[in-house]
Amino acid sequence: MVQIRQVGPNIGVEVSGVDLRTLDAAGFAPIYQAWLDHNVLVVTGQDLTIQEFLDYSRRFGTVSPHPSKSTRHPDMPEITMLGTGKFNADGTLNQAIYRRGAEGWHTDGAYDDVPFKATQLYALAIPDTGGDTLFASGYAAYEAMPQRLKERLDGVLGAFTYGGRSKSQALLNPEDRDRTPAMHPIIRTHSETGRQSLYFDPGKILYIQGAETAESDALIEELTALMIQPEGQYRHKWQVGDVVIWDNRCSYHKAAGDYPPEQDRIHWRTSIKEWA
């Protein structure tokens, strides 16, 4: 029997008792709506082939290969492999792989002119301790913004790149670095729910359009402090077979980055855009 239960006060919903391999359109509809309502959707207890995971991801939108070519699956470029190859040839830990996603709160794909609608992970191997993923609501962040800030940023665009102001682009091939910034509204109206959220990523934003450098930096600092609201958070403790999808249009996330390096934390990942 399919069960849907809320797992966080304002973000996060869990679905159990469903087999994603045989889920029909009628069964998928309430699951998709629960995802829209709660930003993050967890489906437990799955046993999927890589093709089945890709097929399920395509029910949410168009799957797009991630710009980090070095971490794509060798046979299926739409799939990113997370957590594999984390040791260098000399045995040292590759921090870019081990701590991927743990540098700070972020949203995926803001550096792209057509940003990612969603990101989905499927857990293949989970460490004994640590390795959680944390999520936060962009809706809650917008609601916490003072009115003066909402008015200042209404209709204002931010400039985003893969490495942001730090230019951290180690996972990109040289030819994919230093792309023209993508411009997106800081206050974003969700294309399906119609709700407003703070669309922001301190690690990818370069500047706020129309603001002098000092004001832009001050606004970025203020928005960074507003991103994470206590009532809008959910922390996911992974189990093998979990499928988790989050809505990049209205949420942020980060990996805890705290699991034993000698243990495996491996996921398949898909990056999903709006349907063409």
Mean pLDDT of the chain: 93
Question: Per-residue pLDDT for 156 more than 60?
Answer: yes
Say if residues 267 and 46 touch (Cβ distance below 8 Å): no
Check whether 276 has a pLDDT greater than 90: no
State the pLDDT at residue 67: 85
In eight-state DSSP terms, residue 179 is P
Identify which of 43-47, 63-67, 95-99, 169-173 has the greatest average pLDDT: 43-47
How far is Cα 189 from Cα 58, in angstroms, rounded to an integer? 23
- Alpha carbon distance 214, 169 (integer Å): 25
Mean pLDDT of the region 79-106: 93
pLDDT digits (tens, 9 = 90+) for 198-236: 999 999 999 999 999 999 999 999 999 999 999 999 999
The set of residues, in sequence order, having a beta carbon less than 8 Å from that of 259 and lying 6+ positions away, is 127, 129, 130, 131, 265
235-270 pLDDT, tens digit per residue, is 999 999 999 999 999 999 999 999 999 999 999 999
Q: Tens digit of pLDDT for each residue in 107-137?
A: 999 999 999 999 999 999 999 999 999 999 9
Residue with token string 């999903």? 272
The full set of domains in the chain, from first to last, is 3-146+228-273 (3.60.130.10)
Complete DSSP assignment for 223-264 = HHHHS--GGGEEEE---TT-EEEEETTSEEEEE---S-TTS-
Confidence band, pLDDT 50/70/90 cuts, at residue 175: low
Sequence-distant (≥ 6) Cβ neighbours of residue 217 within 8 angstroms? none
Q: In what order do the strands lie in the sheet with 133-137?
A: 233-236, 133-137, 251-255
The predicted model gives 167-184 an average pLDDT of 65
Q: Could you tell me which residues are beta bridge partners of residue 134?
A: 235, 254
pTM: 0.93
pLDDT tens digit sequence for 135-152: 999 999 999 999 999 999
The encoded tokens of residue 144 equal 């916490």
End-to-end CA distance of the chain: 34
Measured from the Cβ of residue 129, the count of other Cβ atoms closer than 10 Å reads 10
Quote the pLDDT of residue 165: 60
Give the residue-averaged pLDDT of 38-62.
98
* Eight-class DSSP state of 260: -
Q: Within its chain, how far is the Cα of 122 from the centroid?
A: 13
Task: Judge whether residue 173 has pLDDT over 70.
Answer: no
Checking if the pLDDT of 9 tops 60, the result is: yes
**Residue indicated by tokens 């997370």:** 82
pLDDT digits (tens, 9 = 90+) for 68-90: 888 999 999 999 999 999 999 99
DSSP string, 15-83: EES--TTS--HHHHHHHHHHHHHHSEEEE-S----HHHHHHHHTTTSEEE--S-GGGB-SS-TTEEEES
pLDDT of residue 162: 83
